[in-house]
Amino acid sequence: KHVLEHIKASVVINKKLLAILIDPDKQNIEALPDFITLIKASVITHIFIGGSTVEAQRTETLVLALKRLTDLPLVLFPGDVTQITEAADAVLFLSLISGDNPDFLIGKHVKAARLLRNSNLEIIPTGYLLIESGAETAVQRVTKTQPLKNCKHTITDTAKAGELLGLQLIYLEAGSGAVNPVSGHVIKGVKNDLNIPLIVGGGIRSKQQLDDAYAAGADLVVIGTAFENNNSFFEELESYSISGRFLKAR
Where on the chain is the footprint of ligand 1GP (CB under 6 A)? Answer: 21, 173, 176-178, 201-204, 222-226
How many whole angstroms separate alpha carbon 15 and alpha carbon 13?
Answer: 6
Closest approach of Cβ 77 to ligand 1GP, in Å?
7
CA angle 227, 75, 65 (to 5 degrees): 70
Closest approach of Cβ 238 to ligand 1GP, in Å?
19
Based on its alpha-carbon atoms, the radius of gyration of the chain, rounded to whole angstroms, reads 17
Judged by beta carbon, residue 17 or residue 120, the one nearer ligand 1GP is: 17
Closest approach of Cβ 82 to ligand 1GP, in Å?
17
Neighbours of 192 (CB within 10 A): 10
Closest approach of Cβ 117 to ligand 1GP, in Å?
27
Judged by beta carbon, residue 12 or residue 199, the one nearer ligand 1GP is: 199
In 159-209 the beta strands, taken as DSSP E runs, fall at 169-173, 198-201
Measured from each CB, the residue nearest to ligand 1GP is 201
Closest approach of Cβ 219 to ligand 1GP, in Å?
14
Judged by beta carbon, residue 113 or residue 136, the one nearer ligand 1GP is: 136
Phi and psi of 193, rounded to 5°?
-105, 0
Closest approach of Cβ 194 to ligand 1GP, in Å?
18
Phi and psi of 221, rounded to 5°?
-110, 140
CA angle 52, 171, 18 (to 5 degrees): 90
Judged by beta carbon, residue 1 or residue 26, the one nearer ligand 1GP is: 26
Judged by beta carbon, residue 118 or residue 143, the one nearer ligand 1GP is: 143
Judged by beta carbon, residue 23 or residue 122, the one nearer ligand 1GP is: 23
Q: What is the DSSP letter of 88?
A: S
How many whole angstroms separate alpha carbon 71 and alpha carbon 240?
Answer: 20
Q: What is the DSSP letter of 179?
A: S
Residue 201's SS3 state is strand
How many whole angstroms separate alpha carbon 227 and alpha carbon 22?
Answer: 9
